[in-house]
Amino acid sequence: MVPSEASGPAITVELAVTASLPPRCSRRMTTHPPTLLASFFAALFVFGSYSQSRTDAAERPPNIIVIMADDLGYGDLSCYGATELETPNIDALAAGGQQFTQGYCSASTCTPTRFSFLTGKYAFRQPGAGIAPPNATSLIEPGTETVASLMKRAGYQTGVVGKWHLGLGQGDAPDWNGELKPGPLEIGFDYCYLLPTTNDRVPSVYVENHRVVNLDPDDPLWVGNNRPDENHPLGSDPEVRATLKMDWSHGHNQTVHNGIGRIGFFTGGHQARWRDEDLADAWVEKSVDFIEANQDKPFFLFFASHDLHVPRMPHERFQGKTKLGFRGDSIVQLDWCVGELTSTLKRLNLDQNTLVVFCSDNGPVLDDGYQDGAIEQLHSHKPSGIYRGGKYSIYEGGTRTPFITSWPGTIKPGKSDQVVCTVDLPASLAALVDQPLPAGACPDSFNMIDVLLGTPNAKGRDHLLQQPNKGPTLALRVGDWKVLSYPDAKPRKHLTYEKGPGRYELYNLADDPSESNNVAEQHPDKLAELLARLDAIKTAGHSRPDWTEAN
């Protein structure tokens, strides 16, 4: 348990008198003595002027908010080089914290990245961890150790708000009209308010804890894989299609809701249905409620934005805010959400005691199934920055994404080129709150807390595995070398998934960050070395150096 209250002396005294450190500080002191001391001296040097408020904040265990954007690419924010739009709130987060140039999500699609972020396990190890369909049941077994269960055990109030996409319920399909169980509440969250899958997948309803919100029992919700009856309007029907408010380009032509064709079929639950335009407001409202309700306790909040996943249909007040069309407007909406969260922390005087991690679930895509102008109105915007590929791809653009940590008064502002990944958050956040990892837990999650806090000389990952949606395609980066392995490469219709010219590709990211020159033939020894390492990670079932087997 993390004690919720403890009194501590001023920071200048804390540095000299270890025995009277407040709880979090004294625990970290025993875990990482040299780096912690260094970071304290750095913090003292930089933040000495407001050491008193820092001290007040340090008396309590830090709150933690992980903000995960959806389909946000490396080049999509102004702090990462975008010039065609502005993201002042996320830029402020970056300017006041650590901005990573080599921050990654673990996969280039949603479900596997989210699975790994929660469990600390690479998704290729988990059968069925590809993009979850509308009627997916719970992918993460109750009892699995997750970042949420670790925080809960450490005495935190835990919540998830926004896109889930990891399945709900059990059996053949979720019980949409009954209890949606198991779900987040069975793997460590105290509270959830969710978009069950994606905004382009049915059903278009909110789920709060175990129930669909506002469901009228006289209008039951049905979700299925087949057209329920021949009168059910479909987005593929030319007459219906002509009335859509946003046309589809591929897929997304089954049940129509809010003038938009979706993936999958659903009927009923009319009173429970949301409007796409209102989703971001709902996430902010429920998150602010959660923060306010837990302002006197340590809390962990996973803010899982649906922006900028398709269909990109931002609130009317954001429509037209950029010249990039709804894709750009959705980025501005995401930025607004971040600003609402950070200003709530300031209003409640929690900003100096809250670690905010900002990341994405996969790289960018322009046409992901709707004709929303993302291609036509791109101008000079480069969603992946200088990197090759995007969503669905194991080139850098698929997984190297914005990654920011902020904790005013504790994290020294700066840029970091250390390698970190969303799969590292369970082990890192557990270390922050001194929660030991149980045997068998989080097999691929490395404790990167010192790197995330910007501790001078702290080292990031020496290697990193990257995956697209599912295996067997995988990439492994070791230092600056990266191998891409496509055992069953096939062209993927419609997708930005780029098939390499051969079975393997090898790049040196230091010389060739855009992965344009495959040097596999020139460096057969390096290729063999990396492939052997990749094989070893696959076979071992874990890659965390201090991982221990379950009893």
- Binding interface with ligand NG6 (CB under 6 A): 70-71, 109-110, 131, 165, 198, 200, 250-252, 263, 309-310, 362, 368-369, 494
CB 314 within 8 A of CB 331: no
426: nearest Cα among 61, 111, 110, 149: 149
The least CB distance from residue 115 to ligand NG6, in Å, is 11
- The CA distances from residue 224 to 228, 253, 275, in Å, are 8, 14, 21
Site string for Ca ion, 281-320 (x = CB under 5 A): ----------------------------------------
Residue closer to ligand NG6, measured from CB, 109 or 353: 109
Please name the helix (run of DSSP H) or strand (run of DSSP E) that holds residue 40, with its range, or none. Answer: helix 33-47
> Which partner in ligand NG6, Ca ion, none is near 286 (CB below 5 to 8 A by kind)?
none
Q: In sequence order, what are the beta bridge partners of 67?
A: 303, 358
* Nearest residue to ligand NG6, by Cβ distance, number only: 251
| Torsion angle defined by CA atoms of residues 201, 202, 207 and 213, in that order, rounded to the nearest 10 degrees | 140
Q: Report in angstroms how near the CB of residue 344 gets to ligand NG6 at its nearest.
A: 27
According to the binding rule CB under 5 A, does residue 76 interact with Ca ion?
no
Residue 361 found at the interface with Ca ion (CB under 5 A): yes
Using the rule CB under 5 A, give the single segment among 103-111, 170-178, 322-330, 410-418 that binds Ca ion. 103-111
Q: Which two tokens stand for residue 547?
A: 């991982």
Nearest distance from C-beta of residue 369 to ligand NG6, angstroms = 4
Residue type at 356 in one-letter notation: V
Before 545, cis peptide (omega within 30)? no
Beta carbons within 10 angstroms of residue 140's beta carbon: 23
* Residue 198 contacts which entry, Ca ion, ligand NG6, none (Cβ below 5-8 A, type-dependent): ligand NG6
Estimate to the nearest angstrom the gap between the alpha carbon of 296 and the chain centroid: 26
We find the least distance from the C-beta atom of residue 243 to ligand NG6, in angstroms, to be: 21
| Residue number with CB closer to ligand NG6 (11 or 474) | 474
Q: Which of 70, 76, 329, 372 binds Ca ion (CB under 5 A)?
A: 70
Integer Cα distance of 176 and 168 in angstroms:
9
8 A C-beta contact, residue 95 and residue 77? no
Tokens of 220: 């039951």
**Binding partner of residue 200 among Ca ion, ligand NG6, none, CB cut-off 5 to 8 Å per kind:** ligand NG6
Q: According to CB under 5 A, which one of 68, 110, 282, 356 is a site residue for Ca ion? A: 110
Residues in Cβ contact with 93 at an 8 Å cutoff, skipping those fewer than 6 apart: 338, 342, 356, 358, 404, 406
The amino acid that residue 242 corresponds to is: A
Cβ of residue 171: shortest distance to ligand NG6, in angstroms?
23
State in angstroms the smallest separation of the CB of 365 from ligand NG6: 8
**Closest approach of ligand NG6 to the CB of residue 407, in Å:** 28
By beta-carbon proximity to Ca ion, the closer residue of 152 and 201 is 201
Nearer to ligand NG6 by Cβ, of 253 and 294: the residue is 253
Contacts of 351 (CB under 8 A, 6+ apart): 342, 345, 408
d(CA 531, CA 475): 9
Q: Counting contacts by CB under 5 A, is residue 362 touching Ca ion?
A: yes
Question: Cβ closer to ligand NG6: 110 or 423?
Answer: 110
Residues sharing a CB contact under 8 Å with residue 495, sequence separation 6 or more, in sequence order: 391, 392
Based on CB atoms, which residue is closest to ligand NG6, 309 or 482? 309
The residue range among 49-57, 358-366, 435-443, 535-543 that interacts with Ca ion, by the rule CB under 5 A, is 358-366
- φ/ψ (deg, to 5) at 271: -70, -20
- Nearer CB in complex with Ca ion: 338/433: 338
Can you give the binding site for Ca ion, defined by CB under 5 A? 70-71, 110, 361-362
